[in-house]
Amino acid sequence: MLPVVSIVGRPNVGKSTIFNRLVGSRKAIVGDQYGVTRDRHYGESFWNGRKFNVIDTGGYLPDETDIMIAGIREQVHIALEESDVILFVVDTEGGITSLDQAVAQLLRKQEKPVLLVPNKADNDERTLNATEFYALGFDKLYPVSAINGRGTGDLLDELVNLL
């Protein structure tokens, strides 16, 4: 069995864009689940000769904050059960939100390795702004731009070290 990496975070931070960058055309299975967590996408990726599976933890019922928080909890719990490493994605454009804080709280009180990934760090300014996410209580962060690829090499170097 290949190691499993899950991508978690609130909607619109760029989870699916990161997934597509990691997995490209090697998307294997598209799983549909009814309920709060939907459209979980599984695919294979590799870096530095290491192969791993990636899960994009997908969608939510939109617009209702309490459903959204329940959805985040379910997403994180499933991710913790099935993964070896978690990518916790946040958005340098939008800054820290209460949903980011809810996810951070769930992820801090468990043992699995978590890499905090401020996405949309498309340029130097956004990359500098990413330091605000230290407030979420993780030791290190890995700013990336899923769109232009900036920072993704450093993230993947660290990721495969943890597998």
By beta-carbon proximity to ligand GDP, the closer residue of 30 and 51 is 30
Pick from 6, 16, 45, 145: which binds Mg ion (CB under 5 A)?
A: 16
Residue 110 is given by DSSP the state: S
Distance of CA 41 to CAs 11, 31, 146, Å? 15, 6, 17
By beta-carbon proximity to Mg ion, the closer residue of 79 and 160 is 79
Q: Is 39 exposed, middle or buried (0-12, 13-18, 19+ CB in 10 A)?
A: middle
Question: Binding to Mg ion by residue 57, rule CB under 5 A?
Answer: no
What are the backbone dihedrals phi and psi of residue 87, each rounded to the nearest 5 degrees, phi first? -100, 115
Does 40 count as an annotated binding residue?
A: no
Q: Is 89 exposed, middle or buried (0-12, 13-18, 19+ CB in 10 A)?
A: buried
Strands 40-47 and 27-31: antiparallel
Interface segment toward Mg ion; rule CB under 5 A; list 13-21, 100-108, 121-129, 154-162:
13-21
Interface segment toward ligand GDP; rule CB under 6 A; list 37-45, 104-112, 114-122, 134-142:
114-122
83 contact choice in Mg ion, ligand GDP, none (CB below 5 to 8 Å, kind-dependent): none
Which residues are documented as binding site? Answer: 9-16, 56-60, 119-122
Which residues are documented as binding site for GTP? Answer: 9-16, 56-60, 119-122
